[in-house]
Structure 1
Amino acid sequence: MQKRFVFLLIGVVLTHSLPAQIPGKSYQNGMVVCAYPDASKVGLDILKKGGNAVDAAVAVQFALAVVHPSAGNIGGGGFMVYRAATGLTGTLDFREKAPSASSANMYLDAAGNIINNMSLATPAASGVPGSVDGMVSAHKKFGKLPWATLVQPAINLAANGFKVTDRLANELNSTRNTFIKSNPGKNYLLKATNWVAGDILVQADLAKTLQLIRDKGRAGFYAGKTADAIVAEMKTGNGLISKADLASYHSIWRKPITGRYKDYTIITMPPPSSGGIALMQLLKSVEKYPLRRWGFNADSTVQLMVEAERRVYADRSKYLGDPDFYKVPVDSLLQTTYIKKRMSNFSWDTATPSSSIQPGIFKGYESDQTTHFSIVDKAGNAVAITTTLNGSYGSKIFVGGGGFLLNNEMDDFSSKPGIPNMYGLIGGKANSIQPGKRMLSSMTPTIVAKNGKLFMVVGTPGGSTIITSVYQTILNVIEFDMEVQQAVSAKRFHHQWLPEQVDSERGALSTDTRIKLEKKGYLIKDNSVIGRVDAILKTGKGYSGGADPRGDDAAMGW
Structure 2
Amino acid sequence: MPPPSSGGIALIELLNILENIDLKSLGHNSTKYVHYLTEAMRRVYADRSKYLGDPDFYPVPIDSLISKNYAKKLYSQITSSASNSADILPGLVESSESMETTHYSIIDKWGNAVSVTTTINSGYGSKVVVDGAGFFLNNEMDDFSAKPGVPNQFGLLGSEANSIEPGKRMLSSMTPTIVLKDDKPVLIVGSPGGSTIITAVLQVVLNVLDFEMDVNEAVDAPRIHHQWYPEHISIEDGVLDSSGTLELINMGHKVKDIPYLGLIEAIKIDQKTGRVSGATDRRGFGLAKGELDK
TM > 0.5? yes
Distance 1:421 1:491 in 2: 33
Distance 2:8 2:155 in 1: 20
Distance 2:155 2:106 in 1: 31
What is the match of residue 468 of structure 1? 199
- Identify if the C-alpha distance between structure 1 residues 373 and 421 changes in structure 2 by more than 3 Å, giving closer, same or farther: farther
What is the match of residue 428 of structure 1? 159
Cα offset, 1:451, TM superposition:
2.5
Distance 1:374 1:531 in 2: 15
Q: Tell me if 1:546 matches 2:279.
A: yes
CA displacement, residues 162-197 of structure 1 (integer Å, 9 cap, x when unaligned): xxxxxxxxxxxxxxxxxxxxxxxxxxxxxxxxxxxx
Cα offset, 1:397, TM superposition:
3.5
- Identify if the C-alpha distance between structure 1 residues 397 and 510 changes in structure 2 by more than 3 Å, giving closer, same or farther: farther
Distance 1:516 1:491 in 2: 18
What is the match of residue 10 of structure 2? 278
% identical aligned pairs: 55
Instruction: Kindly provide the amino acid, as one letter, of the partner of residue 281 in structure 2.
Output: D
Cα offset, 1:381, TM superposition:
0.5
What is the match of residue 557 of structure 1? 290
- Identify if the C-alpha distance between structure 1 residues 419 and 308 changes in structure 2 by more than 3 Å, giving closer, same or farther: farther
In the alignment, is the contact (CA less than 8 A) between 1:423 and 1:463 conserved in 2? no
> Where in structure 2 are the equivalents of 1:180-199 lying within 5 Å?
none
In the alignment, is the contact (CA less than 8 A) between 1:273 and 1:441 conserved in 2? yes
Cα offset, 1:426, TM superposition:
5.0
CA displacement, residues 213-265 of structure 1 (integer Å, 9 cap, x when unaligned): xxxxxxxxxxxxxxxxxxxxxxxxxxxxxxxxxxxxxxxxxxxxxxxxxxxxx
Cα offset, 1:423, TM superposition:
9.9
Q: Secondary structure of the residue that 1:554 maps to in structure 2? A: coil
In the alignment, is the contact (CA less than 8 A) between 1:315 and 1:359 conserved in 2? no
> Where in structure 2 are the equivalents of 1:249-288 lying within 5 Å?
269-288=1-20
Cα offset, 1:343, TM superposition:
2.0
> Where in structure 2 are the equivalents of 1:318-329 lying within 5 Å?
318-329=50-61
In the alignment, is the contact (CA less than 8 A) between 1:317 and 1:425 conserved in 2? no
In the alignment, is the contact (CA less than 8 A) between 1:306 and 1:494 conserved in 2? yes
Q: Tell me if 1:291 matches 2:18.
A: no
Distance 1:472 1:425 in 2: 27
What is the match of residue 188 of structure 2? 457
CA displacement, residues 92-125 of structure 1 (integer Å, 9 cap, x when unaligned): xxxxxxxxxxxxxxxxxxxxxxxxxxxxxxxxxx
Instruction: Kindly provide the amino acid, as one letter, of the partner of residue 555 in structure 1.
Output: A
Distance 1:488 1:302 in 2: 17
In the alignment, is the contact (CA less than 8 A) between 2:20 and 2:72 conserved in 1? no
- Identify if the C-alpha distance between structure 1 residues 358 and 551 changes in structure 2 by more than 3 Å, giving closer, same or farther: same
Instruction: Kindly provide the amino acid, as one letter, of the partner of residue 61 in structure 2.
Output: P
In the alignment, is the contact (CA less than 8 A) between 2:6 and 2:172 conserved in 1? yes
- Identify if the C-alpha distance between structure 1 residues 376 and 463 changes in structure 2 by more than 3 Å, giving closer, same or farther: same
Q: State which of 366, 373, 376 in structure 1 corresponds to 2:104.
A: 373
Distance 1:314 1:330 in 2: 15
Q: Tell me if 1:345 matches 2:77.
A: yes
Cα offset, 1:313, TM superposition:
0.5
> Where in structure 2 are the equivalents of 1:96-111 lying within 5 Å?
none
Distance 2:155 2:30 in 1: 27
- Identify if the C-alpha distance between structure 1 residues 308 and 420 changes in structure 2 by more than 3 Å, giving closer, same or farther: farther
Cα offset, 1:420, TM superposition:
6.8
Q: Secondary structure of the residue that 2:276 maps to in structure 1? A: strand
Distance 2:82 2:72 in 1: 18
Number of residues paired by the alignment?
A: 282
> Where in structure 2 are the equivalents of 1:48-447 lying within 5 Å?
269-348=1-80, 350-358=81-89, 368=98, 369-418=100-149, 427-447=158-178
Runs of 5+ unmatched residues, structure 2: 92-97
Runs of 5+ unmatched residues, structure 1: 1-268, 361-367
Cα offset, 1:512, TM superposition:
2.2
Cα offset, 1:519, TM superposition:
0.8
In the alignment, is the contact (CA less than 8 A) between 1:442 and 1:466 conserved in 2? yes
- Identify if the C-alpha distance between structure 1 residues 372 and 424 changes in structure 2 by more than 3 Å, giving closer, same or farther: farther
Higher relative contact order (CA 8 A, sep 6+): 1
What is the match of residue 178 of structure 1? none
Q: Secondary structure of the residue that 1:456 maps to in structure 2? A: strand
Q: Secondary structure of the residue that 1:385 maps to in structure 2? A: strand
Q: Which has the larger radius of gyration?
A: 1
Cα offset, 1:441, TM superposition:
0.6
Distance 1:443 1:425 in 2: 20
CA displacement, residues 13-44 of structure 1 (integer Å, 9 cap, x when unaligned): xxxxxxxxxxxxxxxxxxxxxxxxxxxxxxxx
Instruction: Kindly provide the amino acid, as one letter, of the partner of residue 475 in structure 1.
Output: L
Identify, as 1 or 2, the structure richer in helix.
Answer: 1
Distance 2:120 2:262 in 1: 16
Cα offset, 1:394, TM superposition:
1.8
Cα offset, 1:318, TM superposition:
1.1
Q: State which of 211, 216, 241 in structure 2 corresponds to 1:510.
A: 241
In the alignment, is the contact (CA less than 8 A) between 1:311 and 1:359 conserved in 2? no
What is the TM-score with the length of structure 2 in the denominator?
0.91
Cα offset, 1:357, TM superposition:
0.5
What is the TM-score with the length of structure 1 in the denominator?
0.49
Q: Secondary structure of the residue that 1:457 maps to in structure 2? A: strand
CA displacement, residues 503-528 of structure 1 (integer Å, 9 cap, x when unaligned): 11122222222111011111111111
- Identify if the C-alpha distance between structure 1 residues 399 and 393 changes in structure 2 by more than 3 Å, giving closer, same or farther: same
- Identify if the C-alpha distance between structure 1 residues 424 and 405 changes in structure 2 by more than 3 Å, giving closer, same or farther: farther
